[in-house]
Amino acid sequence: MVWSSEFRDKVVVVTGASSGIGRAAALAFGAVGARVGLVARRRAALDEVAGEIAAHGGEALVAPADVTRRPAVRDALGAVRTRFGRLDVVVNNAGVLIPAQVAELKATDLRTMLRVNLFGALFVMQEAVAAMQEQSGGGCIVNVASLAGRRGFSALGGYCASKFALVGLTEALRTELHGTPIHVALVLPGVIDTPMAAGVAHDDEFQDMWPTALTMPAAWVVWAIFAAARFRLVEIAVPPGAATLEKLGALVPGVADSVLHWGTMATRFVSELLGRVRS
């Protein structure tokens, strides 16, 4: 990506930087010369990411924080500003997924997902906006939501609810900041090859909906994050166009439900058939 050189010497904060999409994004920004603030709960994992960035000539600051605590978010972003002087891009990526059918969803599990996926993202947005309003040139906030924030899927009802809420917050903030130098972008990935997705790989209903063979690499989402920040895109799905299909489906929800049902049944049939062939 020739245009990735635009991030050289920019200050980029990545939350959820210890693994998955966040780790891949942090390493990619470091590789193109950005100064990277690494935010997550696990210091040891962040130290490893920082070490990889440094080994390739980059510069990173480890700023451990639990995003569900706004004072911790404020301290982490403050540490990055103190070290590097400003915040140019904030990749709001920390998230958690606990699968369950809605009828069986535990309130404690839903609360956990809301605390991280919604309130954690909110706190990061609030602190990032406050910092960017104080500096010249504004900045860019890239919220990593999910295609599950545009369409409900079983057995991801609780996760979908948290991501639907994040999409709404993002759109509201974008409207509130219209005409200012602060840009707010939304990245909507499908199922990505990350530890979070691996954690639900054993769920039969999830596998019926999205077989492992269709899982996409984290690099695809990193590209979307780069593009959203560089070209100030409002929204980008991974794969491109998927969110548009979901929006069209919302116009005829009954039809969309039927298509999803039959698609799931077809996927289950093909998976079982292939399993018999291999055995």
- Residues 125, 94 contacting (CB under 8 angstroms): no
Please report, as a single letter, which amino acid is at residue 21: I
- Among candidate residues 153, 159, 206, 210, the one labeled active-site is 159
Cis-peptide, bond into residue 54, ω within 30° of zero: no
Region of residue 97 (left: phi > 0; alpha: psi -120 to 50; beta: else): beta
189 closest CA partner among 236, 231, 234, 152: 236
| CA 240 to chain CA centroid, nearest Å | 15
Q: In the annotation, is 251 catalytic?
A: no
Does residue 139 sit in helix, strand or coil? strand
CA distances from 147 to 78, 187, 227, 247 (A): 31, 9, 18, 10
The set of catalytic residues is 159
